[in-house]
């Protein structure tokens, strides 16, 4: 999400234990997590696609810095009602929007991992002026049995500070030593066109210097189609451009067998945009492009029964509404 407005960190209530979600919303729970507190916030939700595991990695949680009506000005009472049924934990008192900050790992049968987004980061990260830092991604990776050296690709859906926080150390050394970092050319070009100097200095320049930046243009296959076991040969992972939230925003599609998962980044940031894709988010870079992108992605996902993996909803996986199901009363 965009976050042009600083926020009092005291507004973020970091008591993760108080933020439980129903166990029925979770997939397989890792043994390590199950041995923990038993609260769902510390468990790891996993969905499998053709032999690949898509693992939700909860980094942080907190209330947004404006009311939900300010963030989504065109949402109607009916939209809110339907959204609350779908993602009730996002609804706090006094019109408060509670949101998660989540990353995803895609673990292949060979043990290698694609990480999608890197969260709000540690104390002092670029997101720390407004987001609930430190995030918990390093512990979540351990919980999921993922060593940082196992990660060979890091996809950054976009360069907002709550999606890149655990990418590089403060001295600029990449946190995932064996990984190439995938960014759309348009995203970098937008930074370079003006106003993005801080993020260029913090993220892009160090990755370039380390030879770790993989700048792609448009839809790009990352994994699949060859190698691996027969069962997994047809499973593919690719990035697709989903502009609007930012100019070079991208999403990740994992496809194999009969199931597809779309890791959407910030194409939708609240369930209200799932029940009504026309509802714009105030801090989108280009609201019209974002709306068209959201409609197209959700229509495609609905017709293919694609599971959505979002960064900010309070549940890690949601089903896209099927086409034909009325979005408005
Ligand atoms: Zn975001």
Contact residues for 203 (Cβ-Cβ < 8 A; gap 6+)? 159, 164, 167, 168
How far is residue 186's CA from residue 250's CA, in Å, rounded to a whole number?
10
- In the reported structure, the alpha carbon of residue 39 is separated from the centroid of ligand 1 by a whole-number distance in angstroms of 24
- In the reported structure, the alpha carbon of residue 100 is separated from the centroid of ligand 1 by a whole-number distance in angstroms of 9
pLDDT at 44: 76
- In the reported structure, the alpha carbon of residue 233 is separated from the centroid of ligand 1 by a whole-number distance in angstroms of 32
Judging by DSSP bridges, how do beta strands 307-310 and 259-265 pair with one another?
A: parallel
pLDDT at 308: 98
- In the reported structure, the alpha carbon of residue 297 is separated from the centroid of ligand 1 by a whole-number distance in angstroms of 17
Q: pLDDT, tens digit, for every residue of 56-71?
A: 999 999 999 999 999 9
- In the reported structure, the alpha carbon of residue 228 is separated from the centroid of ligand 1 by a whole-number distance in angstroms of 33
The mean of the pLDDT values for the chain is 86
pLDDT at 229: 52
When pLDDT is cut at 50, 70 and 90, the band that residue 103 belongs to is very high
- In the reported structure, the alpha carbon of residue 163 is separated from the centroid of ligand 1 by a whole-number distance in angstroms of 6
- In the reported structure, the alpha carbon of residue 7 is separated from the centroid of ligand 1 by a whole-number distance in angstroms of 15
Query: Could you say which DSSP state residue 31 is in?
Result: H
pLDDT at 295: 97
- Write down the residue that tokens 């990755």 correspond to: 207
- Could you state, in order of their start, the residue ranges of all structural domains in the chain? 29-319
- In the reported structure, the alpha carbon of residue 266 is separated from the centroid of ligand 1 by a whole-number distance in angstroms of 6
How far is residue 231's CA from residue 257's CA, in Å, rounded to a whole number?
9
- Burial bucket for residue 151 (CB in 10 Å: 0-12, 13-18, 19+): buried
DSSP of 68-109: HHHHSTT--HHHHHHHHHH-GGGB-STTEEEEEEEEEEEE-T
When pLDDT is cut at 50, 70 and 90, the band that residue 13 belongs to is very low
Q: Which of 121-135, 138-152, 217-231, 276-290 has the lowest mean pLDDT?
A: 217-231
pLDDT at 17: 21
- In the reported structure, the alpha carbon of residue 4 is separated from the centroid of ligand 1 by a whole-number distance in angstroms of 12
Q: pLDDT, tens digit, for every residue of 253-280?
A: 999 978 899 999 999 999 999 999 999 9
pLDDT at 159: 98
- Write down the residue that tokens 């993020």 correspond to: 199
How far is residue 1's CA from residue 131's CA, in Å, rounded to a whole number?
11
- Write down the residue that tokens 């609260």 correspond to: 39
- In the reported structure, the alpha carbon of residue 326 is separated from the centroid of ligand 1 by a whole-number distance in angstroms of 28
Alpha helices in the chain (DSSP H): 31-34, 68-71, 77-86, 137-143, 185-192, 197-199, 205-209, 230-233, 272-275, 287-303
As beta bridge partners, residue 47 has 54
- In the reported structure, the alpha carbon of residue 269 is separated from the centroid of ligand 1 by a whole-number distance in angstroms of 7
- In the reported structure, the alpha carbon of residue 128 is separated from the centroid of ligand 1 by a whole-number distance in angstroms of 14
- Residue 47 reports pLDDT greater than 50: yes
- In the reported structure, the alpha carbon of residue 87 is separated from the centroid of ligand 1 by a whole-number distance in angstroms of 17
- In the reported structure, the alpha carbon of residue 37 is separated from the centroid of ligand 1 by a whole-number distance in angstroms of 27
Residue 134 preceded by cis peptide, ω within 30: yes
In angstroms, the Cα distances linking 291 to 38, 274, 280, 298 are 39, 11, 7, 11
How far is residue 143's CA from residue 44's CA, in Å, rounded to a whole number?
8
Report percent pLDDT > 90 for the chain: 78
- Copy the structure tokens of residue 115: 């990480």
pLDDT at 321: 81
DSSP of 146-196: --GGGEEEEE-S---TTTSTTSB-TTS-BSSTT-EEEEEHHHHHHHHTTT-
- Residue 217 reports pLDDT greater than 90: yes
Compute, in degrees rounded to 10, the torsion defined by CA atoms 24, 25, 30, 35. -60
Rounded to an integer, the average pLDDT of 284-306 is 96
- In the reported structure, the alpha carbon of residue 17 is separated from the centroid of ligand 1 by a whole-number distance in angstroms of 22
pLDDT at 329: 40
- In the reported structure, the alpha carbon of residue 59 is separated from the centroid of ligand 1 by a whole-number distance in angstroms of 12
Check if the beta carbon of residue 50 is closer than 8 Å to that of residue 259.
yes
CATH 2.40.50.100 fits 29-319, yes or no: no
- In the reported structure, the alpha carbon of residue 120 is separated from the centroid of ligand 1 by a whole-number distance in angstroms of 9
Rounded to an integer, the average pLDDT of 78-106 is 97
DSSP of 47-68: EEETTEEEEEEEEEEEEEEEEH
- In the reported structure, the alpha carbon of residue 115 is separated from the centroid of ligand 1 by a whole-number distance in angstroms of 16
């Amino acid at each position: 999400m965009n976050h042009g407005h600083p926020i009092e960190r005291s507004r973020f209530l970091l008591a993760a234990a108080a933020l439980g979600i129903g166990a029925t919303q979770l997939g397989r729970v890792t043994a390590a997590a199950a041995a923990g507190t038993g609260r769902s916030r510390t468990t790891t939700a996993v969905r499998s696609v053709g032999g690949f595991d898509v693992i939700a990695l909860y980094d942080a949680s907190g209330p947004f810095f404006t009311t939900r009506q300010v963030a989504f000005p065109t949402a109607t009472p009916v939209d809110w009602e339907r959204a609350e049924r779908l993602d009730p934990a996002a609804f706090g008192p006094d019109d408060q929007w509670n949101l998660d900050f989540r990353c995803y790992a895609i673990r292949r049968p060979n043990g290698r991992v694609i990480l999608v987004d890197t969260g709000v980061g540690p104390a002092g990260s670029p997101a720390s002026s407004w987001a609930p830092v430190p995030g918990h991604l390093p512990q979540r990776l351990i919980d999921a049995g993922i060593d940082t050296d196992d990660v060979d690709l890091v996809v950054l859906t976009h360069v907002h500070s709550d999606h890149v926080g655990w990418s590089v150390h403060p001295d600029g050394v990449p946190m995932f030593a064996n990984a190439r970092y995938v960014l759309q050319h348009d995203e970098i070009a937008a930074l370079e066109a003006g106003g993005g100097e801080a993020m260029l200095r913090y993220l892009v320049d160090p990755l370039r210097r380390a030879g770790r930046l993989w700048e792609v243009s448009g839809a790009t296959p990352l994994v699949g189609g060859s190698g691996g076991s027969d069962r997994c040969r047809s499973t593919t992972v690719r990035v697709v451009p989903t502009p609007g939230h930012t100019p070079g925003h991208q999403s990740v599609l994992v496809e194999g067998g009969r199931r597809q998962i779309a890791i959407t980044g910030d194409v939708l940031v609240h369930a209200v945009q799932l029940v009504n894709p026309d509802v714009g988010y105030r801090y989108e870079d280009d609201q019209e492009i974002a709306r068209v992108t959201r409609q197209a992605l959700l229509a495609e996902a609905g017709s293919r029964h694609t599971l959505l993996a979002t960064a900010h909803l309070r549940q890690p996986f949601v089903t896209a509404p099927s086409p034909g199901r009325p979005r408005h009363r």
